Amino acid sequence: MRILRLKDLPDNESGHFLAGVVPGEFLYRGAITYKKPNERTHTKPGDADYHVHEDSEVFIILQGKARMELNGAMYPLKTGDIFVVEPGEDHHLISDAEEPCVSLWCHAGPNRHKDQLEN
Does residue 76 register a pLDDT over 90? yes
What is the mean pLDDT of the segment spanning 58-86?
A: 97
* pTM of the predicted protein model: 0.92
What is the mean pLDDT of the segment spanning 62-85?
A: 97
End-to-end CA, the chain:
37
Summary mean pLDDT of the chain: 93
Domain ranges of the chain: 2-112
pLDDT digits (tens, 9 = 90+) for 7-43: 999 999 999 999 999 999 999 999 999 999 999 998 8
Does residue 93 register a pLDDT over 90? yes
Q: What is the pLDDT of residue 119?
A: 63
Does residue 69 register a pLDDT over 70? yes
What is the mean pLDDT of the segment spanning 103-116?
A: 91
The second-level CATH assignment, the architecture, of 2-112 is Sandwich (2.60)
According to DSSP, residue 115 is labeled G
Q: What is the pLDDT of residue 15?
A: 92
CB 85 within 8 A of CB 56: yes
Question: How do beta strands 73-78 and 91-95 pair?
Answer: unpaired
